[in-house]
Amino acid sequence: MDPKAPMTSEVVSTPSTNGCSKPFDVNVTYPVKGHQPPFDLRTFNVTRRFSDFLGLHAKLLNQYQCTGVIIPSAPDKNVLGKTIISIYSLGTTMVKMSKDASLENEFIERRRIALERLLSHPVLRTDTNLREFLEHEGELPRSVSTQLISGASAKKMFRNFGDVLGKITYKMEDPEEGFVDEYFDLKTEELESWERQLKRLHGALTSLVTSTQDLVSSKFAVSRAISQLANVEEHTGLAQALGRLADTEENVSQRYAMLADAELMYLADCARDTLGIIQACKDALDERWKTFRNWKSAENALRLKRELKVKLELAGRCDQRKAQGIDAELEELSVRVENEKSNFEKVTQVVKVELDRVDFTRFDDLKQAATQFLQIMLQTQEKLLENWESYLLQAKTIN
């Protein structure tokens, strides 16, 4: 699969109940142009729990992160319930949920985006765990690893603290061998700068969503107050005008509610997902540093063993049997050094390809999210204008 191949999505809503705590039935499709192996032309209907998503993410993380592959972060769990997914070949997926709950909409949208990222990845889309997740009929075995997320997060925090101290000791430069880490140093600085700016942007967008939601509540309260005033107004024409104004304010509040959902889904969530991708990039760089540390540790062990052999020989305490043992250890350490160096070079190449791929796709993701939001905002403004123009015509007829 071409890693730059575009993937599109379409959402169709048809309410129904599937036995979950909350009824939902929204179809989300992932059409992929052309035949995309390893998926065939069959249609699959499978039920997946949220823990199944976490279990899949944990499996991919354990299998591929050590090789330098950037694993997209798992979405947060903000709504309970099951997700019904109908998987079509060629990368088509249908997800069902309720039409009237914005939280469920956001929950399913995050699942859709997460699956789309996995399906669009040239390495991850061929993974057997992903295929099982998409194609296995019936429930998957309950993942045990997801029950220990909090403990794993705490352990990761302590490991990260230890890695920070270790990076001071193992600086990824070796002037004697002509090894300079300029490309990855620049990438690290770029990621840090990108993360700082995105955190500010995410905070501002979150405030924007909160402000719009407050505006929705205020508009609805104004609508209720005007409606109550219209009920007690004795002047017939004025009462009718107030009633129509109340209806207009209620319609306006609904439009702003849609705008708040769009701000949350296409702007704030997009910024948060991008922060997750940045963290995944940093995790990949950390894996590369670990392989470098292993390589240099092996070199250091080999150097110490050689120095020990020289000291024993100079002291005349190195008999033939001991010399053979040391030579065997030296050979083993030499092989280890070569293996660790080869592993470091492989991981370095993979991480570089992954970072370049993220650079290629991140602008398209941000552009797509911004474009979708602007379309909704434009439609909202047009509807608001229509509502107020309609009310203005009615208000002018008051005698």
pLDDT of 28 strictly over 60: no
Q: Is the model's pLDDT at 257 over the cut of 60?
A: yes
d(CA 270, CA 265): 7
pLDDT at 30 over 80: no
Neighbours of 237 (CB within 10 A): 11
pLDDT tens string 318-377:
777 778 888 899 999 999 999 999 999 999 999 999 999 998 888 888 888 899 999 999
Percentage of the chain beyond pLDDT 90 is 39
Q: Mean pLDDT throughout 234-249?
A: 89
The pTM for the full model equals 0.75
| Nearest alpha carbon to residue 86 among 16, 33, 145, 6 | 16
Q: Where are the domains of the chain?
A: 1-138
The whole-number pLDDT of residue 222 equals 94
**What count of other Cβ atoms lies within 10 Å of the Cβ of residue 318?**
17
State yes or no: pLDDT of 33 exceeds 70.
Answer: no
Q: Which fold has domain 1-138?
A: PX Domain (3.30.1520)
Residues 384-399 pLDDT 10s: 999 999 999 888 877 6
Q: What is the pLDDT of residues 52-85, one digit of tens each?
A: 788 888 899 999 989 999 988 776 655 433 334 4
